[in-house]
């Protein structure tokens, strides 16, 4: 599977050819950003899971910045942020709200029904609805992001190790 993924990954020369990436080429030259190995992939998954809960188009930008800073796999991190989509974001935020209310000890009942939005006051009504969710959501979203990132990192490291052991045993059986 690693070889299959490596075929799709861009190399350094491909990156240099993109005009809009030229100002950042010096940041994108580190080998861990593109190579598939245990630490780099696990870190990319963790960053992708963490940044996936950031709203809107900022999740990939945040993931790219963290990847360059921590020098883990860039394509894996960007691909992993896609676990949030219009179908999964609401259950994830509800889970984050429940987690935040459990941690903070807040037992508010929040109306899960979105307010009726009118074009004149849509943003103010939506903002007041979000303010009602308050502290539990502000605590729950980063906490859920940390839990998902840690679970993703550990899962990839363990799965990678199991696969290596499995291949060693298969090779040993094949030789004997």
The full set of domain ranges for the chain reads 2-175
Q: Lowest mean pLDDT: which of 19-33, 46-60, 82-96, 141-155? A: 19-33
> Confidence class of residue 16 from pLDDT cuts 50, 70 and 90?
low
Residue with more model confidence, 103 or 47: 47
- Assess contact for 128 and 111: CB atoms under 8 A: no
How far the first Cα of the chain sits from its last, in Å, is 25
> Confidence class of residue 29 from pLDDT cuts 50, 70 and 90?
low
> Confidence class of residue 77 from pLDDT cuts 50, 70 and 90?
very high
Q: What average pLDDT does the structure give for the chain?
A: 81
Inter-axis angle of helices 122-175 and 89-104, to 10 degrees? Answer: 100
* Alpha carbon distance 54, 141 (integer Å): 9
Taking residues 127-155, what's their average pLDDT?
86
pTM of the model: 0.76
* Alpha carbon distance 160, 56 (integer Å): 31
For residue 53, the 8-state DSSP code is: T
């Amino acid at each position: 599977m690693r070889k299959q993924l490596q075929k799709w990954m861009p190399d350094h020369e491909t990156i240099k050819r993109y005009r809009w990436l030229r100002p950042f080429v010096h940041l994108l030259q580190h080998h861990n950003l593109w190579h598939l190995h245990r630490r780099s992939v696990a870190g990319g998954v963790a960053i992708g899971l963490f940044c996936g809960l950031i709203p809107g188009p900022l999740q990939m930008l945040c993931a790219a910045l963290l990847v360059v800073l921590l020098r883990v796999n860039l394509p894996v991190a960007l691909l992993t942020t896609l676990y949030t989509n219009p179908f999964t974001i609401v259950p994830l935020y509800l889970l984050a709200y429940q987690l935040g209310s459990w941690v903070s000890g807040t037992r508010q009942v929040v109306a899960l029904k979105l307010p009726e939005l009118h074009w004149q006051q849509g943003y103010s009504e939506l903002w007041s609805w979000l303010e009602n969710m308050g502290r539990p959501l502000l605590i729950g979203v980063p906490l859920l992001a940390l839990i998902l990132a840690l679970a993703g990192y550990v899962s990839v490291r363990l799965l990678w190790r199991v696969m290596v052991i499995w291949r060693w045993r298969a090779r040993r059986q094949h030789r004997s």
